[in-house]
Amino acid sequence: MLDLKEGGFFLINKPYTWTSFQVVKKMKYILTKHFSEKKFKIGHAGTLDPLATGLLIICVGKYTKKIEEFQGLRKEYTGTFRLGATTLSYDREHAENQTFPISHINETLLRQTAKAFIGPQKQVPPVYSALRIDGKRAYSYAKQGLEPEMKEKDIEIYDFDITEVNMPEAAFRIACSKGTYIRSVARDFGLELNSGAYLSSLCRTKIGDYCLQDALSLEDFEEMFPHKKD
């Protein structure tokens, strides 16, 4: 049985279109109703974009002190790139704003290009992101039509495989370090192909040794902690 003060952590499968904050808010509501307790700590160990699904680690009570430790773990993702086009957000949140030729792209080129991304590198985060610049979220500048300077970050890609090709879509699996934006990988991948690309789907499958297959749905979580009658 969970002790709210001592705490623990849960593996949760984030639903499509939900923000990570919405998942935390929902879980806090469920625990509040079950334990009749409002004052306890809860937080997630690494954001997923609303259009992504997959593994979130949610920490409760004293385990919130381990959030930074969880955040530092290696991450793994699967998903698809849409080749031959770009969007402002590097994913499907925005409509396509440019198109590019893809007739020169084949499976061999895709796999060779993916392998070239493996290793330590600098990455420019998307302007449509929650990174803070002078106290404001980067996306708040972007929504005003401004272009804040996005500083390069040190990241590392450990594995990058193209798992299926069905033009203009290419499916992938990526293992990477903390702070890696797969949307930025999509943008850079398109550039390396002398074309364009954006992220059309994304699922986080692993955080360290923790796997999506062991995660709970929010419905499962609610069944574990049903509302107690007054």
By annotation, the residues acting in catalysis are 49
Rounded CA gap, 26 and 173, in Å? 30
- Can you tell me the distance from the alpha carbon of 38 to that of 28, in angstroms, rounded to the nearest whole number? 8
Query: In terms of DSSP bridges, do strands 210-211 and 197-207 run parallel, antiparallel, or are they unpaired?
Result: antiparallel
Do you know the residue count of the chain?
Answer: 230
- Tokens coding 140: 């708040």
CA atoms lying within 13 Å on the CB side of residue 98: 13
Phi, psi of 211 (to 5 degrees): -115, 145
Burial 189-225 (b: 16+ CB within 10 A, else e): bbeebebbbbbbbbbbbbbeebebeebbebeebbeeb
